[in-house]
């Protein structure tokens, strides 16, 4: 599916890398040219996953920590398909429902020997997959004290976001809408408010469904987006990855450019004078 146009990709890449129109994203002292972080779960096959991830232009991918399947009936380890030299690995604590479990998974992830970064995620409700913010805070404090660079998945609550920043997180990641829902940003005001008040980067994590969602999300002024299902569950993940790359850049530049005021009245764009008799 790489017929989607090397020309446009090159153009986007040029803008991303030029540093003229936008500054790079810096998280925890590490610089990223792409403002997109992508997950590696739920793809129909590994080849499509790798192709989509490359097409997205991302430099950081999330991975999960799980038992090795000794019966080989499930998937092999992700590192058989994705090189840690090509992508910065951000391990997650997905599936954890307590602070204790999240800390355990984070320590296992660090012991893999790649880096000390962790996407902290402590779920509080099985139906909505909304975060347990008390447990998330507790785990964030523990992990930050142990030297982890914590990127914390949280809800769109300002006070929790502030507490996570105080706890030492290198990025705070409020949801746009529930994980895997594809509902887009349900509360743009709260996302803007979190971005306004935090010093650390704000990455919107979860809920973006398509390119327009990504664009609208970036127009709120946030520093980046983390997504998985929007790519993996698209009919054509590689094409969608190209679309997301463009949408994120478009939304970011539109935010930086500053939009015109919206008004519920028409104003002509052409001169009203000089018309013929």
Partner 1 sequence: MSDNATIHVHLNGKEREVASAHTVHSLIESLELHPSLVVVELNREILPREAYGDVPVREGDTIELVHFVGGG
Q: Give the catalytic positions in this structure.
A: 119
DSSP code at position 76: P
| Residue 196 host element (H or E) | helix 188-197
Among 94, 99, 191, 238, binds partner 1 (CB under 8 A): 94
CA 255, chain centre distance (Å): 17
Residue 160 backbone dihedrals phi, psi, to 5 degrees: -60, -45
Residue selected from 160, 177, 217, 229 as contacting partner 1 according to rule CB under 8 A: 229
Identify whether the C-beta of residue 173 lies closer than 8 Å to the C-beta of residue 203: yes
Footprint of partner 1 on 158-187 (CB under 8 A): 179
Minimum distance, C-beta of residue 274 to partner 1, in the bound complex (Å):
57
Q: Does 129 bind partner 1 (CB under 8 A)?
A: no
10 burial level (CB within 10 Å; 0-12, 13-18, 19+): exposed
107 lines the binding site for partner 1 (CB under 8 A): yes
For residue 183, list its beta bridge partners.
none
The single residue among 3, 20, 113, 268 that binds partner 1, judged by CB under 8 A, is: 113
Q: In what side-by-side order are the strands of the sheet with 224-227?
A: 36-38, 224-227, 203-205
The one segment of 34-42, 159-167, 238-246, 255-263 that binds partner 1 by CB under 8 A = 34-42
Measured between alpha carbons, how far is 108 from 94 in angstroms, rounded to an integer?
13
- Is the torsion defined by CA of 249, 255, 260, 262 positive or negative? positive
Burial class, 224, CB count within 10 angstroms (exposed 0-12 / middle 13-18 / buried 19+):
buried
Torsion, Cα of 13, 199, 135, 178 (10° steps): -40
Our finding on whether 43 is near partner 1 (CB under 8 A) is yes
44 contacts partner 1 (rule: CB under 8 A): no
> Please, what is the minimum distance in Å from the beta carbon of residue 73 to partner 1?
13
Binders of partner 1 among residues 52 to 81 (CB under 8 A) are: 62-68, 70, 75, 77-79
Draw the binding track, 207-226, toward partner 1 (x: CB under 8 A; -: no contact): -------------------x
What minimum distance in Å lies between the beta carbon of 66 and partner 1?
5
Q: Residue 143 or 227: which CB sits closer to partner 1?
A: 227
> Whose Cβ is closer to partner 1: residue 40's or residue 220's?
40
> Could you tell me the smallest distance in angstroms from the CB atom of residue 270 to partner 1?
49
Catalog residues that contact partner 1 under the rule CB under 8 A: 39-43, 49, 62-68, 70, 75, 77-79, 89, 91-92, 94, 107-109, 111-113, 179, 206, 226-229
């Amino acid at each position: 599916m790489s017929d989607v146009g090397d020309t446009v990709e090159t153009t986007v890449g040029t803008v991303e890398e030029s540093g003229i129109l936008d500054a790079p994203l810096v998280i925890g002292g590490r610089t990223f040219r792409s403002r997109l972080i992508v997950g590696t779960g739920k793809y129909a096959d590994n080849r499509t996953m790798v192709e989509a991830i490359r097409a997205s232009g991302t430099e950081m991918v999330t991975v999960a920590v799980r038992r090795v399947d000794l019966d080989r009936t499930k998937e092999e380890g992700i590192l058989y398909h994705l090189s840690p030299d090509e992508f910065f690995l951000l391990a997650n604590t997905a599936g954890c429902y307590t602070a204790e479990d999240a800390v355990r998974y984070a320590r296992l992830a660090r012991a893999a020997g790649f880096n000390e970064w962790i996407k902290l995620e402590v779920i509080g409700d099985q139906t909505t997959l909304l975060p347990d913010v008390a447990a998330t805070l507790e785990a964030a404090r523990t992990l930050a004290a142990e030297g982890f660079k914590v990127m914390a998945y949280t809800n769109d609550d300002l006070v929790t976001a502030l507490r996570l920043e105080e706890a030492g997180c290198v990025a705070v990641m409020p949801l746009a809408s529930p994980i895997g829902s594809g509902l887009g940003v349900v509360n743009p005001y709260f996302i803007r408010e979190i971005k306004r008040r935090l010093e650390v980067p704000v990455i919107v994590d979860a809920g973006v469904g398509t390119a327009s969602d990504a664009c609208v999300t970036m127009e709120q002024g946030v520093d980046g987006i983390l997504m998985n299902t929007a790519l993996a569950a698209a009919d054509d993940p590689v094409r969608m990855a190209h679309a997301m790359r463009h949408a994120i850049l478009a939304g970011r530049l539109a935010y930086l450019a500053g939009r015109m005021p919206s008004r519920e009245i028409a104003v002509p764009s052409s001169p009203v004078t000089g018309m013929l008799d």
